[in-house]
Each structure stands twice: as structure tokens, then as C-alpha cells.
Amino acid sequence: MINFRMSKIVFTSLLRVLETRYNLQNLRHISSREMLGSFLYILGTGAKVSQCREKFQRCN
């Protein structure tokens, strides 16, 4: 909640809207849930993409 600036219920609802209305889809190496989480983490904390990769243990 601190990093994403929203509760788990709101996060899940937002993800559902993005998937159904705006066709957000899983990619080969990253899920739509992780994409949204990374995006919100960067917005909520002001982190750089490299810091986000480190936080979520991502290479790409």
C-alpha cells in the first residue's frame, strides 16, 4: 500500500479494468500484474527504472 499508494482491493480492481477495457495483456516475460505494480512503484516512489528492476528482481 505504501509503495503503490493504494490498497490491494483497489490495485486488483484497477488491474481488472486495464485488462478488460484497455486490453492490458501478459507479455512473455512479465505479467500484467507486475507491469502495473512496476509502473505504480515508479510513480509512487519516484524511483528510477533501474531501481525498480532491482526491487522486483528483474533483469529487463
Residue 14 has pLDDT above 90, yes or no: yes
Residue (of 7, 3, 9, 12) closest to 52 by Cα position:
3
Query: How far are the Cα atoms of 5, 40, 57 from residue 10, in angstroms, in the given order?
Result: 10, 12, 24
Structure confidence at residue 42 (pLDDT): 87
Percentage of the chain with pLDDT > 70? 92
The overall average pLDDT reported for the chain is 86
Whether residue 14 contacts residue 6, with contact meaning beta carbons closer than 8 Å, is answered with yes
pTM across the whole model: 0.78
Q: Is 26 left (phi over 0), alpha (psi -120 to 50) or beta?
A: beta
In tens, the pLDDT along 30-58 reads: 899 989 988 888 888 888 888 777 777 76
